[in-house]
Amino acid sequence: MNATRLRQRAAILHAIRAWFHAHGYLEVATPVLVPTAATEEHLEAVPAAEGWLHTSPELAMKRVLASGLCRIYQITPCFRDEERGVHHAREFAMLEWYRAGAGSTELMDEVESLIQAAAAAVDAVVPPFVRRRVSDLLEDIGTPDDWFFTWVDRIEPTLTQPTIVYDYPPWQAALARLRGDVADRFEVYLSGLELANAFHEELDPAELRQRQHAANAARLAAGRSPHPVDESFLEAVGRMPRCSGIALGIDRLVMALTGAKSIDEVQVPAGFEAH
C-alpha cells in the first residue's frame, strides 16, 4: 500500500464519476453475493454463504438494462479465485458500463475519452490509441486449445503503446455477438496492461444457453465444477435492447497511469497476512 498512489486512485475515481455524469450515465449498485457468479469457462468464483461473490456485476447489470435504463455504470469490488500476482488480486475493483443503442465503435470512443479524463486527474499523458484487428497481430490465429498461450506469450508483450484490439476469433466470443466469422468484442491495452474487455452484446437467450453448456462441458472435462445457469439473466436477455458493454479494471488503470509496479501499491491490503 502506498499513500501517494491511494490519493491518485481517489482522484482517478472522482474523474471517472464526473465523466459518467457528464455523459448521461446513471450509477447503479447490484449485489456482490449472487446465486450464479460466472459464465465463462476459465473464471473461478469465491464461494460465500449460499452462493458466490460475483466475478463481475455483468449478469445483474444486464437485468437492470432490461428494465428500461439505457446508460448505466457501476464501480464495485469483484472476486476471482486462483488469481494472484503483480497484476492480479483475489479481490479487485471493476468499472463496468452499458449503453443501449451502441455498437463496439461507440464504446471504443467512450473508453478512450474516459481514460484521457482519468489521466488528466493525475497529470498523466496518454498518447492516442491505435486500433488493430486480431488478424493483423496474429496471422495464424490457431485453435482454441493453443489460443491462450499464443496470445499471452507472443502478442500481449508487443502491445506497449495504447492499443484497442478487436475482431476476435469466434471461440473467444463469450457473451459477445458474432459478426460474420468474428466475435464482435474488443480489449484495451495501456502501458502493456490489459485494462478492459468489451462486447457488442449477444441478445439470443438460446445462443447464450448453448455457450454456457459448452463452457460447462469443458469445465467438467478439466475436472472442475460447472457454473450454475442464471435463469433470471437469460430471461432478461430477451428483453434487452441492442447494446454494448465494457468492464475495466480500476486497479490496473491506476497502475498504468501512475507507474505503480504492483497491484499491491494501489490497493488497501486485506490484512490476512497479519494473522
Kindly report, residue by residue over 127-139, the tens digit of the pLDDT. Answer: 999 999 999 998 7
CA 185-170-173 angle, to 5 degrees, is 45
Q: What is the pLDDT of residue 37?
A: 74
| Highest mean predicted confidence (pLDDT) among 123-132, 138-147, 227-236 | 123-132
CB 180: neighbour CB atoms within 10 A?
7
In this prediction, residues 71-77 reach a mean pLDDT of 97
How far apart (Å, rounded) are the C-alpha atoms in residues 92 and 80?
9
CATH of the domain at 237: 3.30.930.10
CA distance 269 to 164: 31
The 10 Å CB-count burial string (b at 16+, else e) for 65-88 is bbeeeebbbbbbebbbeeeeeebe
User: Out of 43-47, 66-70, 85-89, 247-251, which region has the weakest mean confidence (pLDDT)?
Assistant: 85-89
- Judge contact between 66 and 41, C-beta under 8 A: no
Alpha-carbon distance of 42 to 273, in angstroms, equals 27
Mean pLDDT value of segment 77-81: 91
- What are the pLDDT digits (tens) for 113-123? 999 999 999 99
The pTM score is 0.92
CA atoms within 13 A on the CB side of 227: 27
How many beta carbons lie within 10 A of that of residue 32, not counting itself?
17
**Residue 142 scores a pLDDT above 50:** yes
pLDDT at position 272: 64
- In angstroms, what is the C-alpha Rg of the chain? 18
Read off the pLDDT of residues 187-228 as tens digits, 9 standing for 90 and up: 999 988 899 999 999 999 999 999 999 989 988 998 888 888
pLDDT band at residue 85, thresholds of 50, 70 and 90? low
The answer to whether residues 198 and 187 touch, using CB atoms and an 8 Å cutoff, is: yes
Higher pLDDT, 238 or 140: 238
Are the CB atoms for 20 and 73 separated by under 8 Å?
Answer: yes
What pLDDT does 275 receive? 40
Q: Single out the residue of 109, 78, 84 nearest to residue 96, CA to CA.
A: 78
User: In the predicted model, is pLDDT for residue 271 greater than 90?
Assistant: no
Taking residue 225's Cβ as centre, other Cβ atoms within 10 Å add up to: 10
Query: Which residues are paired to 95 by β-bridges?
Result: 75, 248
Which of 69, 73, 70 minimizes the C-alpha distance to 30?
73
As for how many domains the chain has, the answer is 1
- Distance, in Å, from the CA atom of 226 to the CA atom of 52, rounded to the nearest integer, reads 13
Please provide residue 192's backbone torsions phi and psi, each rounded to the nearest 5 degrees: 80, 5
* pLDDT given for residue 185 in this prediction: 97
Q: How confident is the model at residue 140 (pLDDT cuts 50, 70, 90)?
A: confident
Q: What is the pLDDT of residue 264?
A: 86
Domain extent for 150: 3-274
Question: What is the pLDDT, as a whole number, of residue 274?
Answer: 46
